[in-house]
C-alpha cells in the first residue's frame, strides 16, 4: 500500500498522471495507478511541479524590516551599515524565530529548498549558530543550505577570515565572499583566490557575491572563473549578482562568457533586489543593473533566479514567492517569448536545484516525494497568475493545504497572515 496517491495532476510537460508516494519517495508516475493508498488527493485540473528552490537568500536578516530603522537611501551600502547596527544587538532566539517564521512562509509557497548566506562577521557567530539550529529544526521538510558569508569583507573586516573558517568548522556548507566590498580591487582578487583554495581544500561548493556594483570595471568574476579552472572546482562554483556585467564593455563580455561556460561556473541573478538597488547613482537613462541573463543562457551557462531578501535592511517587500522572482526577472531581462518564460519557470525549479546540487530532485520514480500543486494550467500560466498554491508535499508528507481550495487544513503561516511580529515596527 502506498502512503499517498496524488491523482490526476497536470505535469509541467503537459501530461496528466497520478503520483504514488511510498517511504518519502515517488514510487510511480503514470496514468490510472489506482493503487491502494492511505490517503488520496484529487488534483485534477491543477499543475503539479517539483518544488520551488531559492539559490540566494539571507535568512539571518529576513523579517527584520524596520529593525532598528529603515534604509532611507535604498542603497546596498546603507543596507550593509543598517545590518551592522542590528547585528550588534540581535539575539540567537530572535534570529531563530524570524527564520522559522520565514520557513513557514516558504513552505506555504511550495519553496522547499533554500541556499542562505549567513554573515560570519560577528565574534559571537550568533547568526551562524542560529541558522545551524534552524537547519536542524526544518530538515524534515525543508532543505536549508548555508553559505559562510563575510558580509563586511574577508580582509576588510578584522578577524573575518578566522570567523569564516570557524563557521565552516561548525558545519556551514558553502564558501561565500564579497570581493567587490574589499578595500581595493587587488584585495578583492586575492580574496577570490583565498576563498576558492579554502573550498578546494575542504571539498566544498563556492558561491560568492560577485561584482554587485554598477562599476563596469568590477571584474572579479574573471578571477572566479580562473580559480575554478585552476583548482578543478568546475561545476561547483556560482557567482551571485554579477550586476557589473550589465555595464561592462560588450567586447569584454564576449570574451568572458565563453570562459564562464568552459569553467561551468553558474550565475545567480536576483531580479527583485538588482532592479531595486542598482542604478541608484544614475540620473537618466537609469541602468537596470541586472546581469546578462539570456546572453549567458545562450552560451550554455546555468543561470538561476534568486530572491536574496525579504523584509530586511535591503528590501522592504517580499513573500517567499519564487513566482514573483521569476515574474520580475522575465520582465527585466525581456525574456517574454513563450520558450523564455518557460525557461524562467525552470530557473526557479530545476535549474536552481542543479545549482544547489540537490539529491533526488524531480518528478520521476525514485525522486524525493516533494512537489507543489498550483492553480494553473501550465508553467507560463503559473507565472502570469503568480498562481495560488493548492497543496505542498515535502519528503512524502503533506505540509500545506490551501484553505481556499480544500476544506480540511493543516496550515503553516502564510505571508501577511502572521500577527506575532506585527508590533515590532513593520
Known catalytic residues are 212
Number of residues that bind Fe ion (CB under 5 A): 1
Nearer residue to Fe ion within complex by CB, 10 or 213: 213
Nearer residue to Fe ion within complex by CB, 308 or 312: 308
DSSP 68-96: S---SS--HHHHHHHHHHHHHH--HHHHH
CB 291 within 8 A of CB 269: yes
Q: Which stretch binds Fe ion (CB under 5 A): 22-30, 120-128, 247-255, 300-308?
A: 300-308
Least Å distance, CB 395 to Fe ion, is: 27
CB atoms within 10 A of CB 234: 12
Q: Which of 101, 308, 321, 351 binds Fe ion (CB under 5 A)?
A: 308
Site string for Fe ion, 45-84 (x = CB under 5 A): ----------------------------------------
What is the distance, to the nearest Å, from the Cα of residue 373 to the centroid of all Cα atoms in its chain? 20
Cell of 374: 498550483
CB 163 within 8 A of CB 121: yes
Least Å distance, CB 220 to Fe ion, is: 15
Q: Which stretch binds Fe ion (CB under 5 A): 46-54, 75-83, 165-173, 306-314?
A: 306-314
Nearer residue to Fe ion within complex by CB, 76 or 374: 76
Least Å distance, CB 268 to Fe ion, is: 9
Query: Which residues ranging from 95 to 114 are in contact with Fe ion (CB under 5 A)?
Result: none
Q: Which stretch binds Fe ion (CB under 5 A): 107-115, 227-235, 247-255, 302-310?
A: 302-310
Nearer residue to Fe ion within complex by CB, 152 or 308: 308
Least Å distance, CB 209 to Fe ion, is: 5
Q: Regarding beta strands 266-269 and 237-241, do their DSSP bridges make them parallel or antiparallel, or are they unpaired? A: parallel
Q: Which of 24, 97, 7, 117 is nearest to 395 (CA)?
A: 24
Nearer residue to Fe ion within complex by CB, 141 or 149: 149
Q: Which of 58, 114, 74, 105 is nearest to 304 (CA)?
A: 114
Site string for Fe ion, 253-292 (x = CB under 5 A): ----------------------------------------
Least Å distance, CB 308 to Fe ion, is: 5
CB 298 within 8 A of CB 283: no
Longest dimension (CA), the chain: 65
Q: Regarding beta strands 371-374 and 237-241, do their DSSP bridges make them parallel or antiparallel, or are they unpaired? A: unpaired
CB 257 within 8 A of CB 301: yes
CA distance 366 to 112: 18
Cell of 422: 506585527
Q: Which stretch binds Fe ion (CB under 5 A): 96-104, 304-312, 326-334, 344-352?
A: 304-312
Q: Which of 34, 15, 115, 23 is nearest to 6 (CA)?
A: 34
Least Å distance, CB 283 to Fe ion, is: 26
Residue 178 phi/psi, 5-degree rounding, is: -155, 65
Is 173 a binding residue for Fe ion by CB under 5 A? The answer is: no
Q: Which residue is nearest to Fe ion (CB)?
A: 308
Least Å distance, CB 317 to Fe ion, is: 16
DSSP 104-162: HHHHHTTEEEEEEEEE--STT-HHHHHHHHHHHHHTTT-EEEEEEE-TT-TTTSTTHHH
Nearer residue to Fe ion within complex by CB, 60 or 346: 60
CB 81 within 8 A of CB 329: no
Q: By CB under 5 A, name the binding residues for Fe ion.
A: 308
Amino acid at each position: 500500500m502506498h502512503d499517498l496517491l496524488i491523482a490526476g495532476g497536470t505535469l509541467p510537460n503537459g501530461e496528466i498522471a497520478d503520483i504514488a508516494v511510498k517511504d518519502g519517495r515517488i514510487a510511480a508516475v503514470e496514468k490510472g495507478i489506482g493503487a491502494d493508498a492511505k490517503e488520496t488527493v484529487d488534483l485534477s485540473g491543477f499543475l503539479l511541479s517539483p518544488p520551488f528552490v531559492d539559490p540566494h537568500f539571507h535568512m539571518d536578516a529576513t523579517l527584520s524590516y524596520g529593525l532598528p530603522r529603515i534604509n532611507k537611501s535604498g542603497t546596498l551600502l546603507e543596507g550593509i551599515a543598517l545590518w551592522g547596527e542590528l547585528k550588534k544587538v540581535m539575539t540567537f532566539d530572535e534570529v531563530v524565530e524570524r527564520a522559522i517564521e520565514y520557513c513557514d512562509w516558504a513552505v506555504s509557497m511550495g519553496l522547499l529548498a533554500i541556499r542562505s548566506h549567513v554573515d560570519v562577521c560577528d565574534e559571537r557567530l550568533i547568526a551562524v549558530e542560529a541558522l545551524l539550529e534552524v537547519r536542524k529544526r526544518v530538515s524534515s521538510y525543508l532543505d536549508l543550505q548555508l553559505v559562510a558569508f563575510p558580509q563586511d569583507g574577508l580582509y576588510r573586516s578584522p578577524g573575518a577570515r578566522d570567523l569564516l573558517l570557524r563557521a565552516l568548522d561548525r558545519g556551514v556548507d558553502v564558501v561565500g565572499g564579497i570581493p567587490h566590498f574589499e578595500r581595493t580591487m587587488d584585495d578583492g582578487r586575492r580574496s577570490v583566490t583565498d576563498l576558492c583554495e579554502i573550498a578546494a581544500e575542504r571539498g566544498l561548493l563556492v558561491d560568492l557575491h560577485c561584482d554587485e556594483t554598477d562599476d563596469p570595471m568590477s571584474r572579479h568574476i574573471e578571477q572566479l572563473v580562473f580559480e575554478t579552472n585552476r583548482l578543478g572546482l568546475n561545476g561547483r562554483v556560482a557567482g551571485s549578482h554579477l550586476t557589473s556585467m550589465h555595464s561592462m564593455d560588450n567586447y569584454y563580455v564576449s570574451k568572458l562568457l565563453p570562459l564562464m561556460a568552459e569553467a561551468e561556473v553558474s550565475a545567480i541573478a536576483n531580479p527583485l533586489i538588482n532592479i531595486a538597488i542598482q542604478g541608484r547613482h544614475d540620473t537618466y537613462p537609469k541602468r537596470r543593473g541586472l546581469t546578462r541573463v539570456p546572453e549567458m543562457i545562450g552560451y550554455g551557462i546555468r543561470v538561476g533566479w534568486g530572491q536574496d531578501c525579504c523584509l530586511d535592511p535591503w528590501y522592504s517587500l517580499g513573500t517567499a514567492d519564487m513566482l514573483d522572482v521569476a515574474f520580475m526577472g522575465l520582465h527585466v531581462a525581456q525574456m517574454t517569448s513563450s520558450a523564455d518564460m518557460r525557461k524562467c519557470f525552470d530557473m526557479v525549479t530545476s535549474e536552481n536545484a542543479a545549482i544547489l546540487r540537490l539529491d533526488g530532485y524531480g518528478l520521476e520514480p525514485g525522486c524525493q516525494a516533494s512537489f507543489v500543486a498550483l492553480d494553473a494550467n501550465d508553467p507560463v500560466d503559473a507565472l502570469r497568475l503568480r498562481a495560488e498554491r493548492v497543496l505542498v508535499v515535502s519528503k512524502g508528507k503533506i505540509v500545506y493545504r490551501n484553505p481556499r481550495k480544500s476544506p480540511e487544513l493543516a496550515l503553516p503561516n502564510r505571508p501577511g497572515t502572521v500577527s506575532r511580529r506585527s508590533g515590532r515596527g513593520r
